[in-house]
Structure 1
Amino acid sequence: MGSPQGSTLTTNMAGLVDGSTARKEVSHIDCLPVYVKELIAGGAAGAFAKTTVAPLERIKILLQTRTNGFQSLGVYQSLRKLLKHEGVIGFYKGNGASVIRIIPYAALHFMTYEQYRGWILDNYSFFGSGPVIDLLAGSASGGTAVLCTYPLDLARTKLAYQVVDTRTNFRSGIRGLYPQPAYSGITNVLTTVYKEGGIRGLYRGVGPTLAGILPYAGLKFYVYEVLKTHVPEEHQKSIVMHLSCGALAGLLGQTFTYPLDVVRRQMQVESLQPSTIQGNTRYRNTWEGLTTIVRNQGWRQLFAGLSINYIKIVPSVAVGFTAYDMMKVWLHIPPRMKSQAISSG
């Protein structure tokens, strides 16, 4: 009973000494558990990084889903065409859903990764404590985060798939060739899809998503931890080292799992696509999606937009790490203990 009073007295005295209430505000932040601070920092960094690369993400989706008028264009030409038809705001269509999704996704991904990792270490000691643990924990946490946030990813894809010609021909009073959008926003997408297909509709394409995220998340953590073990001790705390290892891990993971991401995107927008694109067929599962795309669209379509992923993943990782470090300072997150670093590596 005396301890809280003593803490309050100490806080008030500190406020009187420096002549401000800043110390009082700091105390509220410091009362948060460390893992909560890390979740907040990770979510904020993820949202900022997503917004930074949103134009490239939009173009990637248009190329993956073979949107009318974008099938044979490159990245630069696609950006110009999108700017011409929709203006700057077109670069960020669907980004609201992406940001809303990435905040809980990043939080869940981080939290469950730590939980799964600790659980595996406690119950399956024969795995050791090396990068294999990160592979397993990363895969499980990626799957958990996807299942919890998938409807928002579906909404983001459907919104990004729509191309609206905002130019109006005032002389003829006729708008462009692109049709009116089917959805007006995130809520409209979710309610419409739910009315049409229920929960199954909201999780359309989750099969290839899980098939892609399980190896991707696992490989990302695995490669990252393996690379860190080859970095000299004096460079372990270098931001450049973290950026380089993270970017390389992301690039390798994306390359191996990207075709599954293409199948996922096409399954998500099947109801919006003209029948001429997919031969009037619906993919019943991931394997059928892969084989049908190769047969009807060519194997190159499985890697449509991959160059954009290569272009955007490096700045995304860089922005994410920088924002995360800034948030850690602002939230007064203490540095990780060496024992944690050793056990995770």
Structure 2
Amino acid sequence: MSAKSGDRLKDEGTTLQVTAAGATAGVISRFVIAPLDVVKIRLQLQTHSLSDPLSVRNLHGSPIYKGILPTILSIFRSEGITGLWKGNLPAELLYLCYFAVQFTTYRQTTLLLHSTLGENTLPPSAESFIAGAAAGGAGTLTTYPLDLLRTRFAAQGNDKIYTGLLPAIKQIHAEESYRGFFRGLAPALGQIIPFMGTFFAVYETLRPKLSKLELPFSTGGALAGTIASVTAKTGTFPLDLVRKRIQVQGPTRGRYVHKNIPEYTHGTLGTMREIVRREGLRGLYRGLTVSLVKAAPASAVTMWTYERALKFYGSLGQKEGGVKRI
């Protein structure tokens, strides 16, 4: 699949248009799936389930969530409607910056591969994997503190650990130094690089074939994005869970809605071993169902919005270019 074949993500639009389209897609996608994101984080941090014997639950006042809808209702009853959008401000900033960096890096990496190796040297899937991995890594590195803040806000219940974004930044810096903002960065990078590489490889492989389909409630591009996201998410989910568990470590660990979060001090692999020892293999997949449910609308909205935003910003550029200056 060459640049001339209409590869939108790689070659259409200026750098500014691609950045603006990616940022727009990220902001809209985040707002739509915010409640599911809160549910996913709560389930990922939960170390117990209804199937555990009462003698080993060790709740310490922590709630027990089971299922997507019951969890939404539980949060709504105990924390109100705003509880489903906890962490939305840092998350919106995260998505705004992350998707802007992601799509821009993806485009620039692809153009770099074209200029150094030639447009048709690498198979399309390999080219997309490399560009996607670079895009995911760059986006994660530049926005990680916002990701940590999003997780901590979503994890707190009625006990207000952080009263706002700026107070949270000041408190984390005072209590944990700058390193506190980067807790869990290793599993984040270990997860996002294969995730984004797989996502873009699958997406770019399926989009040309599915774009011709006429679907009642979606487009072929949105369907390709959904399949790509579900595939990538399932393969890398344990690292995402480990990232969340490590992000809430530190002096506030016992004050979140789950007050029995274990202390993990042995890095990514050590945390995975500890989770398997305490909770079994299924412990690494807590929240996977809601994650996959979230992946479908999130990816569909993201790619659908991105493609249309890119066309819109491109049309603005054409209009400006066509205006006669006096």
TM-score by length of 1: 0.76
Q: Indicate the RMSD between aligned Cα atoms, in angstroms.
A: 2.6
Q: Which residue of 1 aligns with 2:97?
A: 104
Q: Which residue of 1 aligns with 2:220?
A: 241
1:1-345 equivalences under 5 Å are 34-66=14-46, 69-124=62-117, 128-164=122-158, 180-228=159-207, 231=209, 234-235=212-213, 240-271=219-250, 272-274=252-254, 277-279=260-262, 281-333=263-315
Q: Which amino acid aligns with 1:277?
A: N
**Matched-pair contact (CA < 8 Å) for 2:132–2:196:** yes
Question: Residues 4-41 of structure 1: CA distance to partner in whole angstroms, max 9, x if unpaired?
Answer: xxxxxxxxxxxxxxxxxxxxxxxxxxxxx732122212
Q: Which amino acid aligns with 2:224?
A: C
Could you tell me how far apart the structure 2 residues matched to 1:308 and 1:57 are?
A: 8
User: Which residues of structure 1 form unaligned runs of 5+?
Assistant: 1-32, 165-179, 336-345
Could you tell me how far apart the structure 1 residues matched to 2:174 and 2:197 are?
A: 35
**Matched-pair contact (CA < 8 Å) for 2:211–2:220:** no
Q: How many residues align?
A: 286
Could you tell me how far apart the structure 2 residues matched to 1:120 and 1:88 are?
A: 47
User: Which residues of structure 2 form unaligned runs of 5+?
Assistant: 1-12, 48-60, 318-326
Could you tell me how far apart the structure 2 residues matched to 1:232 and 1:89 are?
A: 38
Could you tell me how far apart the structure 1 residues matched to 2:194 and 2:211 are?
A: 29
Q: Which residue of 2 aligns with 1:26?
A: none
Do the aligned partners of residues 234 and 94 (structure 1) sit closer, same or farther apart at CA in structure 2, a change above 3 Å counting?
closer
Could you tell me how far apart the structure 2 residues matched to 1:107 and 1:219 are?
A: 19
Question: Residues 70-93 of structure 1: CA distance to partner in whole angstroms, max 9, x if unpaired?
Answer: 444221111111101111111101
**Matched-pair contact (CA < 8 Å) for 2:62–2:260:** no
**Matched-pair contact (CA < 8 Å) for 2:225–2:303:** no
Which entry has the higher C-alpha Rg, 1 or 2? Answer: 1
SS at match of 2:177: helix
Question: Residues 129-161 of structure 1: CA distance to partner in whole angstroms, max 9, x if unpaired?
Answer: 521011011101110110000000000101110
Could you tell me how far apart the structure 2 residues matched to 1:295 and 1:232 are?
A: 43
TM-score by length of 2: 0.80
Could you tell me how far apart the structure 2 residues matched to 1:328 and 1:128 are?
A: 26
Could you tell me how far apart the structure 1 residues matched to 2:301 and 2:270 are?
A: 37
